[in-house]
Amino acid sequence: QVQLVESGGGLVQAGSSLRLSCVVSGRTFSNYAMGWFRQAPGKEREFVAAISWSGGIPYYADSVKGRFTISRDNAKTTVYLQMNSLQPEDTAAYYCAASRTVMTTTPNDYDYWGQGTQVTVSS
């Protein structure tokens, strides 16, 4: 069984930064592509960023490109999401997810999910 635990969320002002972490346990972390998604109240879960198993091919949603950076440390079995220049529209619960197959932007393609961490950005 694979477990994902997110941390690092919080309440910040617009323009601030946060770094989310997701620790993965249970299987060989380096075999999985990893993704970050977010879900605001009343909205569907949306893709934020993804990274391949090797860490060499990050991909971002247009809404966060240039502000967010996804990275991974396979030795620590952890994936990170560095979020800079946060805006109120970034407010959401953020989830990390693991895919056994491919790096993808589609939530249904991911096999394992964390419980989420809340990010709230005040104006």
Q: In the predicted model, is pLDDT for residue 1 greater than 90?
A: no
Q: Is the pLDDT of residue 56 over 90?
A: no
How much is the average pLDDT of 84-105?
Answer: 94
Q: Band of the pLDDT at 25, cuts 50, 70, 90? A: very high
3-state DSSP helix/strand/coil percent for the chain, to nearest 5?
Answer: 5, 50, 45
The rounded distance, in Å, linking the Cα atoms of 120 and 77 is 26
Q: What is the pLDDT of residue 92?
A: 98
Q: How far apart are CA 55 and CA 63, in angstroms?
A: 21
